[in-house]
Structure 1
Amino acid sequence: MIFSLAAAAAMSSGGGSLNTSFSPLLLLDPFDASSSPGPSNWSLPDDPANASAAGGGGDPGGTSAQTLGPDLRTATGVTAGAVGGVVSVAMTPAVGAAVQEFFDIIFCSILPPPLVSPWDVALCVTGTLVSCENVLVIAVLCYTPALLRAPMFILIGSLAAADLLAGLGLILNFALAYLVEGGPAELPALLSAGLLIAAFSASVLSVLAITVDRYLSLYNALTYHTERTVACTYAMVALVWVSCLALGALPALGWNCLRDEAACSALRPVTRANAVALAAGFLAVFAAMTQFYLQICKIAFRHAQQIAVQHQFLAISTTKGVSTLTAILCAFGACWLPFALYAIVADHTYPMLYTYAAVLPATCCSVINPIVYAFRNPDIQKSLWLACCGCISSNLSLRPRTSSDV
């Protein structure tokens, strides 16, 4: 017997109470009396309509109709009337619930499970790539401890650690969303959000610290390479991480919107006030970076003009350096500005598509950072060559690298 899907839809939309005036159709098997011998139609002896149908040609094949006795009707709760090969069935609530359960089991076993969002997959892949890149940077720095005596490499290590945590946070967020049955619990979700906030905040502030270090290496060129500079660099890194860990702890300490959905930003469970504060902080960092890079360009051009003998060489070198700085600043702004502006104007009512479109470029900045600040550095390239093949490429410059190099 094949149940009509319209009947199932009507029963499911009707809730728990079945409307007995509705008679879902129970279609007979195609093997009727004309194509298959033996009884094929159910009828009721005490139903006048059924009796008249049987006597008036309702059974054209001449077969006798089987009787659905009162005992069977009482047990199943079904009453039926056959008219021209179609039986109209009126079901009791008990039978309706059984049929609904039957369809639930069938559809749940046939329909595929909810698909994974391609945006979440993209974020997880980005997190994996970020983690692999920055693990390599940290391994090179640990393989060459002498590099950590220079302020620039201390800051590069801080940036790599921040981006590594950001990549692991993206992977953890994906695992909590799709691999934990029933979704993440409240505390793990808050800790995951706090980890992402702390990691990306440390990444942005480490980039700012690298910019400040480049400026100081030009502005105080004579006193830059001292133990005092190294101590100040470690202090700056410690301040950055303490501040960022404090920001990351805010959601778990109660600054979240799990109890008040109206206060949520587009990045649940972060409140809208916190999201606006973080975005405003980023805009301030971006403005400071722009100002420092402008000062670096001014100092570089002034040095080029002061040395007349090497004027042409330095002019070419300075132009190349300014172009590199401009590309770095533009890439940083292109990654983070859309997210910052979106966090200011958006709230929890905005479509998730907009949120993903703003978050993904920001995470891609952590993919670019190792390339811009680490893998372009000749000292790190030398360490990579030594670690991988025990030799140094002849294309690498043997001139010592300074923070002012870009």
Structure 2
Amino acid sequence: MSAETPVTPSWLNPDATWASGGGSMDNVTAPTFPPAAAPPPRPPGAAEPLVNPWDIVLCSSGTLIACENALVVLVIWQNPALRAPMFLLIGSLALADLLAGLGLVLHFTFAYLLRSDSAQLLTVGLVVASFSASVFSLLAITIDRYLSLYYALTYNSERTAAFTYTMLVLLWGVSVCLGLLPVTGVNCLGEEATCSVVRPLTKNNVAVLSVSFLLLFGLMLQLYVQICKIVMRHAHQIALQHHFLAATPHYVTTRKGVSTLAIILGTFAACWMPFTVYSLVADYTYPPLYTYATLVPATYNSVINPVIYAFRNQEIQKALWLVCCGCVPASVAQRARTPSDV
């Protein structure tokens, strides 16, 4: 690797330079693959940055995501008690986030060590497929929770592993197809003007992904609204039967459960919505700083997912305690499931 051609990752537009106009952060950009034209003369003595700090942030996020979700996958895989359909969906979510974290790390590694079109397309495809599977897994979990409440008396007995496996096959099949698009030619390596804010994905490709996300978010929002209505209706019925007051513990825990659902959906929207909207309105000519500023929070959703969907689950908590110290604290073993665990 020559000293004249700086090492460059491939997320953003190729005409980017690290600093211009006095090094303002608004002008901080990521170089790309293939190598850009020679940058303008730098001031005497100015050091050429070897690594984009934003890429280090993405790689660090990927490492944390991979380690955190690998623990969840390992616990579910090794514990025979965690074979219920609900845990299969949680495992699917953890596996998708694990692959997304590995994709971010591999993209960083290949961008600075192995400069090739094939490696670039494969790693970007892996990231697209993994994050797509993560979002679809969240939708599958939402559907499962809605059905388990709507058909509270019969769903758990009638739900079969075949139904869960069908959902898993569908969501992973669609995700793999989306990830294969850059490899099969849907990329902008041959025509830079068609690039989106995430190179080498085309503007049309990112637009399809963004619109699909908005549709999925709308569906999840509708399902969570219905879940809240069901939970509140059940709580009201129980309160009437037992002559509870609004301030009783049962009513408090029910409100806590509804609040938890709001936190789940709000976190999902806060992480992904900025990048989704920005991808629809921007193109490769926009400052790469904006892409990084919206892409990094999107990766944080994969950091938060295990905390919301796995580590709060009583059965997974027990399995984690057994793996870590070989025992289960009494406070964990005796904790009753409440509506806040929905």
Instruction: Give the TM interval when normalised to the shorter protein.
Output: 0.7 to 0.9
- What is the alpha-carbon distance in structure 2 between the residues aligned to residue 324 and residue 253 of structure 1? 41
Question: 4+ runs of 1 displaced by more than 2 Å?
Answer: 110-115, 226-230, 310-314, 397-406
Aligned to 1:175: 109
Establish whether residue 151 from structure 1 lines up as the match of residue 85 from structure 2.
yes
Distance 1:296 1:229 in 2: 21
> 2 CA distance for matches of 1:227 and 1:134?
30
Amino acid across the alignment from 1:172: L
Q: Is 1:129 matched up with 2:73?
A: no
- Structure 1: give runs of 5+ residues left out of the alignment: 1-106
Structure 2 residues without counterparts, runs of 5 or longer: 1-41
Instruction: Name the counterpart of 2:129.
Output: 198
In the alignment, residue 211 of structure 2 is paired with which amino acid?
Answer: A
Q: Matches of 1:255 and 1:112 in 2, distance apart?
A: 37
Point out the structure with max Rg over C-alpha.
1
| In 2, Cα distance between equivalents of 1:272 and 1:228 | 41
Q: Which has the higher contact order (CA 8 A, sep 6+)?
A: 2
Confirm or deny that 1:372 pairs with 2:333.
no
CA apart distance, 1:175? 0.5
Partner of 1:160: 94
Structure 2 vs 1, CA of residues 221 and 208 (structure 1 numbering), >3 Å: closer, same or farther?
Answer: same
Aligned residues: 294
Contact 2:58 2:296 survives alignment (8 Å): yes
Q: Distance in 2 between matches of 1:397 and 1:296?
A: 27
Contact residue 217 and residue 404 of structure 1 kept, 8 A? no
Query: Secondary structure of 1:165's match?
Result: helix
Normalised by the length of structure 2, the TM-score is 0.82
Q: Which residue of 1 aligns with 2:32?
A: none
CA separation in 2, counterparts of 1:354 and 1:221?
Answer: 45
Shift of 1:405: 3.1
TM, length-normalised to structure 1: 0.69
Q: Which residue, out of 187, 208, 222, partners 1:256?
A: 187
| Structure 1 position 140, deviation (Å) | 0.7
How big is the alpha-carbon RMSD for the aligned residues of Structure 1 and Structure 2? Answer: 1.9
Say which SS state the counterpart of residue 155 (structure 2) adopts: coil
Conservation of the 8 A alpha-carbon contact between 1:152 and 1:403: no
Matched, 1:139 2:74: yes
CA drift of 1:314 comes to 2.8
Give the match for residue 284 of structure 1: 215
- Say whether 1:346 aligns with 2:277: no
Provide Cα deviations, 1:280-323, integer angstroms capped at 9, x if missing partner. Answer: 11111111111111101100111111122174333111100011
Give the aligned partner of residue 54 of structure 2. Answer: 119
Alignment pair present for 1:317 and 2:253: yes
1:4-403 map, 5 Å: 114-148=49-83, 150-180=84-114, 184-226=115-157, 228-307=159-238, 308=240, 309=242, 311=244, 312-398=248-334
Question: Which has the larger strand fraction?
Answer: 1
